[in-house]
Amino acid sequence: MALQLYNTLTRRQEEFQPADGETVRVYSCGPTVYNYVHIGNLRTFAFQDVLRRYLRECGWKLDHVMNITDVDDKIIRNAAAAGQTIFDYTAQYRKAFLEDCDTLRLERPERITPATEYIPQMVDLIGKMRDRGHTYESEGSTYFRIASFPDYGKLSRIDTHGMKAGARVDQDEYEKDDARDFALWKAAREGEPAWDSPFGRGRPGWHIECSAMAMASLGPTLDIHTGGVDLTFPHHENEIAQSEAATGKPFVRFWVHAEHLLVDGQKMSKSLGNFYTLRDLLEKGYQPEAIRFLLVSTPHRKQLNFTFDGLQGAAAAIERLRNFARRVENPYPDGRNQDVKRLADEAVEAFHAGMNDDLNTAQALAAAFDFIREVNTKIDAGKFRDGNSADAWRVLDLFDSIFDVLRSDKEGKVAEEEIERLIAQRLQARRNKDFALADQIRDQLKADGVVLEDYTGGTRWHYADG
C-alpha cells in the first residue's frame, strides 16, 4: 500500500505522490518568534519532522520550506515594550527555536528563512493581485477583496453568503465569524517598522508572508502545506485566496493539519497561560527523547492530552526499547531462527502499513513493540540465534528512522561531574605552572568531545556538538 494522507481540502484520505514523481515540495508555517515556543507548537513541528522522515522513507527527495514570522502585530507590540527593534527582539527567539528543534531532533527543513527577507516578493505578489482586480486601498492600507474570489471558504468551508462587502479587518488573527476583507499591506504607523512599496510605506500582513515565500521558493503549486489546525482559518484560507488570485493556479495539492496538544482538555496556548516550554520540562529533569516520543507517538490528527504521567510512560517505553537493543547484542549460538526472521518481516510490514495509513504512528509503534515482546519471549525460550540480531536491528532501525529516540544524547559523553573535576585539576596544574599537564587535560577533554573556554575568572565548558 502506498502512502495515504488526509487532505483537509477534500476532507478525504488520498494517495500521495509528488507532482513530479521525485521531489516533494512542502511548505510549513513556522513559528512567530515573539517568545519561546511551547510544547504545543512543538507538537506541530514534531509532526512535520515525522512527515519529512516518512516521505524520505517512501523514497522521495524533499524540498521543504519553513518561514519564521519575524514581523506581525504581537512582535511589534512586544518589541516596543522591550525597547528593542523587531530584529533584535526576534533574533533571540529565533535562535532559541532552532535550539529547541535540535534538542528534539527535528530535522531542519531544506530552507528556513525569516519573513522579512521576502518583502520584495510579497510586494510583487500584492502587485499581481492588484493587476487582476483583487485588491483595494483604504486609508493607506491595501486589502484583499474576498468577494472577488468566488472560491473563498473552500478550505475551512465557511459560508461567505451574507458577508458584508467592504467590511475589513486589520488584525492578523481573527475568528471565523469575523470573516472579512483582510489586510495585505498595512499603512505605516508611527514607531512601527515599515518598508517602501508601490502601495505606500507600510508593512506586510501576516498571511501574505506565507504565500509569497512558498511560491517564490517552490513554484505556484505545492505538494503539501502543513500547519496546526488553528491555522485553517483565516490564515490558510487567506493564503489560498492570495496565491490563487495572483496565479490562477491551484496553490496546494494536500493540506495537512496537526491537531492540538491539550492540557486538561484545553488547547495549550500562550494566551491561556497553560503552557510549558521545552526548557521548562528539561529543567524538571525530563529527557528530550521522552518528550519527542510523547509528541510523535499520537497520530497527528488526534488531539493529545499532555500529562506528566504520559511523559513518564514515554520514558519507560524508551527504556524498554534500549534494553531490547542491548539484549539482542549479547552473544547467541550461531545460526538464524526462521521464526524470528518472519516476525521481523511482519513487523516491518505492519510498521509501514501504519505509517502509510495517514502516518498512524500509534499503529507503527505498536508493530515495533509487539515485535519486541515476541522476540523477548523467543530469547527467554533460548530460541534466539546470532543471525537474528540483524533481524532485530532491521525493525529497530526502521522504527528509529522515524521516532529517533534510541540513541541517548548522554551516551558516551563524559559526565558533568567528571568534567568539573578535570577542570579543577587543570586549574591546579596551571597554578603549579605545570602547563604540560594542563594542556594534556584540555586536549584529552577535547578528544572526548568537551570544549573548554578560558575567560578572566574561570573556565566554561560545553559539549562539542552543542
Positions 225 through 264 that interact with ligand AMP (CB under 6 A): 227-228, 230-231, 258, 260-261
Q: How far apart are CA 267 and CA 57, in angstroms?
A: 32
Q: Which does 210 bind (CB under 5 to 8 A by kind): Zn ion, ligand AMP, none?
A: Zn ion
Give the span between the Cα atoms of 23 and 356, in whole angstroms: 18
* Residue whose CB is nearest to ligand AMP in the complex, by number: 228
Options 5, 9, 29, 278; binder of Zn ion; rule CB under 5 A: 29
- Provide the grid cell at 131: 493587476
How many of the other CB atoms lie within 10 Å of CB of 371? 25
Q: Select from 3, 29, 75, 246 the one that contacts ligand AMP (CB under 6 A).
A: 29
Residues ≥6 apart with Cβ < 8 Å to 402: 50, 53, 54, 57, 296, 355, 361, 364
Residues 6+ apart with CB under 8 A from 177: none
Distance in Å, CB of 155 to Zn ion, minimum: 13
Q: Which of 6, 8, 43, 311 binds ligand AMP (CB under 6 A)?
A: 43
| From the list ligand AMP, Zn ion, none, partner contacted by residue 299 (C-beta under 5 to 8 A by kind) | none
Mapping DSSP to helix (H, G, I), strand (E, B) and coil, where does residue 466 land? coil
Min dist CB 377 to Zn ion, Å, is 49
Q: Which of ligand AMP, Zn ion, none sits in contact with 180, Cβ below 5 to 8 A by type? A: none
Nearer to Zn ion, 210 or 348 (CB): 210
Binders in 201-230 for ligand AMP, by CB under 6 A? 227-228, 230
Measured from the CB atom, the residue of 132 and 270 that comes closer to ligand AMP is 270
As a whole number of angstroms, the distance between CA 17 and CA 3 comes to 8
Nearest approach in angstroms of CB 106 to ligand AMP is 13
Select the residue interacting with ligand AMP from 7, 8, 32, 217 (CB under 6 A).
32
| Residue 266 neighbours by CB under 8 Å, 6+ apart | 272, 274
Can you name the residues that pair with 227 across neighbouring β-strands? 257
Residue 210 or residue 317: which is nearer to Zn ion going by CB?
210
Residues 166-225 that bind Zn ion (CB under 5 A): 210
Buried b (16+ CB within 10 A) or exposed e, 54-77: bbeebebebbbbbbbbbbbbbbbe
Q: How far is the CB of 400 from ligand AMP (least distance, A)?
A: 24
Answer for the pair 75, 136: CB distance below 8 angstroms, yes or no.
no
Give which of 301, 312, 308, 303 is closest to 255, Cα–Cα. Answer: 301
Q: What is the DSSP letter of 261?
A: E
Binds ligand AMP by CB under 6 A, chosen from 3, 24, 25, 44: 44
C-alpha cell at 410: 548522554
Among 31, 153, 205, 299, binds ligand AMP (CB under 6 A): 31
| # residues contacting Zn ion (CB under 5 A) | 2
Binds ligand AMP by CB under 6 A, chosen from 269, 274, 305, 389: 269
Q: Give residues in contact with ligand AMP (CB under 6 A).
A: 29, 31-32, 40-41, 43-44, 227-228, 230-231, 258, 260-261, 267-269
Q: Give residues in contact with Zn ion (CB under 5 A).
A: 29, 210
